[in-house]
Amino acid sequence: MIRRAARTVPAGLAVIVFLAMAATAQALSVEVTTVQASPEGPSDVQLLQFRPRLRRLVGYRAFRVIHEESRPCVWRNPEAFVIPGGRLLHVLPKGMREEAVVMQVQLQEGPRSLVDTDVRLQNRGVMLFGVDPERGTANGVIIIMLKAEE
Amino acid sequence: MTCVEAERLLDSFVDAELPGPMLLEVARHAGSCPTCDRAVREMTALRGSLEQMVHAELEGLDLSGVWPAVEQRIGRSARRGAWRRLPRQLPMWGAAVAAVAAGALLWFRTPPPEPVRVTHVRPNQAVIERLVSSGGARVGIMKDRKYGTTLIMVSAPGEDAGQ
């Protein structure tokens, strides 16, 4: 009886530790929303709260969501989000520091890496990446909204 | 209005930056939803405590002891030399008192108050620790003053220009 207990207790503890580690490992959600900014036209209702700051930052008037994706992420595990226009946004969450999510973000267009950055984004905060294709302002720009939440 | 919709608007709601009808809608929702109501109260309390902290720091600076100390030092110097005072030496003593006063002023001068650092973290604050661009892309960083939202703007030339 005692021998059996001696064998089951460590096994039980190992299972608990494994479950706890699994629970903490998948404790991050990353949301990537791609927005088309245009000089004129209607805007999506879900972007209402962002519209004033998008207007201030980007200078366009109309904003429409063209793609959005949210997925759970594991710390120190890279994730690639597809951005319309043949681009990829690679996100590598590294950890939490002072209530902020530390991550490496890389925006890739085909084989080219347009930008590669290490950022510390406030938990549940949103940061933006703008892609100006340099084909004139008439076509507008693509805005990528990146939100990370532990 | 759902909790998710309300949650997105809470920041602007507390700042009273929403248009009237939306402000009303969020308030109605918060009135009927204990979770959102608590979130509004917490955000309001956080702002209040930050304001209180800043006021307390400012009120805590005590400069009242500076001038009495200088006055005492000047008075002591003046009394010590009073019996020797001669009309001929007045300019010299005047200069000495002035020198002592200046010395005392420097000696007793309180260090300048340290700037009060208000560590108000904005909901969208992003700190860029490293940034590399390649492939001929030009990168600019912009920050929205009001919300602290950061935008990294990439101007990507065509494939031909990048190679």
Question: Which residues sit opposite A81 in a β-bridge?
Answer: A89
Q: Using one digit for the tens of pLDDT, what is the confidence trace for B61-110?
A: 676 777 888 888 888 877 776 666 666 677 777 888 888 888 887 776 65
CB contact under 8 A, B151 and A128: yes
A122 to chain B, any CB pair closer than 8 A? The answer is yes
Which of A 23-62 lie inside 8 A of B, CB atoms?
Answer: 48-49, 53, 56-58
pLDDT higher than 90, residue A1: no
- CB-based contacts of A82: which residues, under 8 Å, 6+ apart? A67, A69, A88
Q: Can you give the pTM of this predicted structure?
A: 0.55
pLDDT higher than 60, residue A135: no
Question: Which residues sit opposite A101 in a β-bridge?
Answer: A96, A121
Q: How confident is the model at residue A83 (pLDDT cuts 50, 70, 90)?
A: very high
Q: ipTM value, please give it.
A: 0.82
Q: How high is the pLDDT of residue A102? A: 94
Name the one residue in this structure whose structure tokens are 């494994």.
A18
Closest residue in B to A127 (Cα–Cα): B150
Which conformational region is residue A76 in: left (phi greater than 0), alpha (psi within -120 to 50 degrees), or beta? left
Q: How high is the pLDDT of residue B163? A: 35
Q: How confident is the model at residue B117 (pLDDT cuts 50, 70, 90)?
A: low
Q: How high is the pLDDT of residue B11? A: 77
Nearest to B154 among A125, A126, A130 (CB): A130
Q: Using one digit for the tens of pLDDT, what is the confidence trace for A93-130?
A: 999 998 899 999 999 988 889 999 999 999 999 999 99
Q: How high is the pLDDT of residue B114? A: 56
Average pLDDT, chain B: 77
